[in-house]
Amino acid sequence: MNILHVTCSPRGESSESHRLSKTIIGCLLQANPAATVINRVVGATALTPIDEPYAMSQQALADVTEAGSIALSNGLIEELQLADVLVIATPMHNFAVPAALKLWIDHVARVRRTFNVGAQGKTSLLRDRPVYVAVASGGRFSGLTARQPDFLTPYLKAVLGMIGLHDLHFFSVEGTAMGPDALNAARDHTQQAVRDHFSANPSVEANAPSQPTLFSA
């Protein structure tokens, strides 16, 4: 089994989202000891923006060149296609995905490679597989104590669904800016939710589409 680990925080391995994603990967490896983990760091300036040749290639009947960011896009798409499981570690920035994750999505959500456009609208080209999203946020965006909106979760459901990824599972550590006691409680609650999820689902395979699930602190 191949696990693609996409990390998006500018704080790198010290980030809460990275810490949570490592717990998820640990559970995956416990169930699949022979699995291979591919680490794709996209935080900060790890990826270059899409450029004019890429943009021109998205037009109908356009010639696709290998110049510029198209080559990077091809590599990221191939990496995703080879993955049996996708783990995304991301902070919530300004109620939504950070710019680094949006840039990775712009590279992999590409017409005629991961989705098509026709008379019926957009149709996906990728096979489904489990996707685990580890989210960290300074405030709370879910549950009865939510104090801010959440555009990250519905956006990821929509855009990943567009390319064929529907088996989504969200885990979040919320309230990281609310002091050490609140942070420790959030960590403990969410890590227990991760362990409970994998105890109930010990075998991870690319199955038929399921309803996205959200586990919050």
Q: Where are the alpha helices (DSSP H) in 63-136?
A: 69-82, 99-108
* SS3 category, 122: strand
Residue spans of the domains in the chain: they are 2-215
Residue with the larger pLDDT of the pair 53 and 8: 8
* SS3 category, 79: helix
Domain 2-215: assigned CATH number: 3.40.50.360
The predicted pLDDT at position 213 comes to 57
The predicted pLDDT at position 208 comes to 40
Q: At 209, is the pLDDT very low, low, confident or very high (cuts 50, 70, 90)?
A: very low
Is the separation of the CB atoms in 110 and 18 below 8 Å? no
pTM equals 0.90
The CB-side HSE value for 15 (13 A sphere, CA atoms) comes to: 24
Reference 197, options 142, 130, 150, 147; nearest CA is 130
Q: How far apart are CA 23 and CA 206, in angstroms?
A: 20
The predicted pLDDT at position 207 comes to 47
- pLDDT tens digits, one per residue of 146-192: 889 999 999 999 999 999 999 999 999 998 888 999 899 999 999 99
Q: How far apart are CA 41 and CA 216, in angstroms?
A: 24
The predicted pLDDT at position 205 comes to 58
Is the separation of the CB atoms in 44 and 216 below 8 Å? no
Q: How far apart are CA 217 and CA 215, in angstroms?
A: 7
The predicted pLDDT at position 52 comes to 84
The predicted pLDDT at position 159 comes to 98
